[in-house]
Structure 1
Amino acid sequence: LKQILKQKLITNCVKFEQPPSLFAKEHDSVTIKCSHDDNSLLYMLWYQRKSDSTNMNFIGYRYISGDAVKEEGFKERFDLKRDGDVKGDLIISKLVSSDSAVYYCAAKEHSAAD
């Protein structure tokens, strides 16, 4: 079984919401939804933290338009979707036991360096 814990946090007065814990069987797919309340934050980023580590693995990000940009190791079974300015999904397909982790979403503004 895979467990993904609910995360609610407020950063710079922006409220983020993610779903409660999710459980799924190996080989299934799971969708983790995230939303925030600031439509100026046009990038949605996703991170993974496994229970045996304090490190966060950067999965990738998606702008409100265009394709997702994903790190090596997350390109095959991980997909990032956007639903407007403030909503996004992380979709993990063909689950394996090593996918068991806490997943975090974050958002950031567009900058000239992006």
Structure 2
Amino acid sequence: RGKKKEEETRTPACACNGSCCTSEAKEITDSCCGAANDGICCIKVLGSGCKSCHALLESAKEAIKTMGVSVEVEYVTDMQRIMEYGVMSMPALVVNENVVSMGKVLKPVEVENLLHRLGF
């Protein structure tokens, strides 16, 4: 009586917006398409369509290009899909179905550094 049912929530790989040290960044091993153990299988930018969200999208695309990874960066604006990730602050960056940054516009070099800290 009085106890609430615990709900399952998605735990971000790193909710520090990329400001943690390497030892704190969790290496992503979950697989959304079977390629996660070898590398990045999918990258998504979650946003409402604002200037900041577009800026993160461009930064992510540039970082991927610089790294030589052939993955398309998906831009998700559907609020229902965004809510499924548990994101409350946008823009957000999702790598292999794990939220790795939210509420911050990362520069291309910051996205690249975050991906390297995550083991890519």
Compute the TM-score of the two structures, normalised by the length of structure 1: 0.30
Q: Which has more helix, going by share of residues? A: 2
The structure with the larger Rg is: 2
Compute the TM-score of the two structures, normalised by the length of structure 2: 0.29
Q: Which has more strand, going by share of residues? A: 1
